[in-house]
Structure 1
Amino acid sequence: MGYPENVLAKDEHVVLHRHPHWGRLTGPAVALIVLTAVAAFVAGYVNTRDWESNARNIVFLVIAAIWLLLVGWLTVWPFLNWWTTHFVLTDRRVMFRHGLVTRQGIDIPLARINSVEFRHGLIDRIFRTGTLIIESAAQGPLEFHDIPRVERVHSLLYHEVFDTLGSEESPS
């Protein structure tokens, strides 16, 4: 999914667009599998009982309603939060947007960035993710967690900052 062009300034171009790492979705995927297995087991048990068909149907509806509620809360909601979280690097700024119902965001002009760091431990390195730390002139360090291929993002951001400044230190 590309980032909406209507939030970009005239002649501004997206250099990089990322959602958080897919690893954030493993918990919801496991929850979906477990909830479905439990609901199927309970429904199978109810089906073996010698109950009146109306009572059995009502119990099936209750099982389905509880399953839908839990799947929505533990699976769909985290997926939608993941889908609506954007880390965007343009040729002018860094943008971070997140939230489904209540949206929040921050824009950092490249010219105001003082330093760019990344951090990732062993597990993060295995899954090629990490934390990007940006320190701007206006604020203290901002940490962006679960950035896929954080080293590449760090490098791109570093190059964009120096290209924007037109510095003699530019690594080109």
Structure 2
Amino acid sequence: MAYPDDLLSPSEHVVIHKHPHWKMLLLPVSAFLLVVGGGAYLAALVSDLSWASVAWISIAVVGSVLVAWLALAPVIRWRTTHFIVTSDRVMYREGVLKRTGLDIPLTRINSVRFEHSLLDRVLGCGTLIIESASDEPLEFDDIPGVERVHSMLYREINDNPEDDFQPEDRVSDGRA
């Protein structure tokens, strides 16, 4: 079974499954390009020296460490961060080595709102703020399509069939 399907109860289904917005990858991609470009420039500078092979190995080692730390780790962190809305709850999972998770039952959510700056509006993302029975509201940053997620989540919260108005019940009670 694929993630997050293996975490669901038998009657539960996924409504929305998102990773953070791709804007989180701009800095890691820029860092990758700078490290590779800087390493290539330094390798070209030392190519005429007698100890060029030692310098190339040093540049490759330092460049590999920088790429792993500044580019690869954030991409893996982005890929392993999940924001999921199901028919029963909101789930948030993040982390690679240290995995953390948060589940909020839809019945415990009091309100849902979103915020996005001008740049977020241009990029199509924002912050989703969920107020539940906890003390402080929970903020989920860089949710892609935050307005759509907001409306879908609101719809899931309020689409409880037990809460729907049923006029035939009023007639059968004799109050019509």
Query: With structure 1 as the length reference, what TM-score do the two structures score?
Result: 0.91
- Measured in 2, the distance between the counterparts of 1:150 and 1:161 equals 16
User: Which residue does the alignment assign to 2:29?
Assistant: 29
What does residue range 55-74 of structure 1 map to in structure 2 within 5 Å?
A: 55-74=51-70
2:7 partner amino acid: V
Q: 1:97 aligns with which of 69, 72, 93?
A: 93
Aligned residue in 1 for 2:7? 7
- 1:135 partner letter: E
Moved over 4 A (4+): none
CA deviation string 1:117-158 (max 9, x = no partner)? 000011110000000000112342100000000000000000
- Contact kept, 8 Å, 1:91 with 1:164, in 2: the verdict is no
CA positional deviation for 1:67: 0.3
Q: What's 1:111 paired with?
A: 107
In the alignment, structure 1 residue 79 sits paired with structure 2 residue 75: yes
* 2-structure distance, mates of 1:166, 1:139: 28
Give the direction of change, closer, same or farther, for the CA distance of 1:116–1:162 in structure 2 (3 Å limit). Answer: same
Q: Indicate how the Cα distance of structure 1 residues 166 and 140 shifts in structure 2: closer, same or farther if over 3 A, else same.
A: farther
Identity between Structure 1 and Structure 2 (%):
47
Q: CA deviation at 1:165?
A: 6.7
- Structure 1: which amino acid aligns with 2:54? I
Provide the C-alpha distance between the structure 1 equivalents of 2:57 and 2:65, rounded to a whole number of angstroms. 12
Aligned residues: 164
Counterpart in the other structure of 2:41: 41
Residues 110, 164 of structure 1: 8 Å contact kept: no
Q: Deviations over 1:75-133 (max 9, x none)?
A: 00000000000000000000000111111110000011000000001111000000000
CA–CA distance in structure 1, aligned partners of residues 53 and 112 of structure 2 = 59
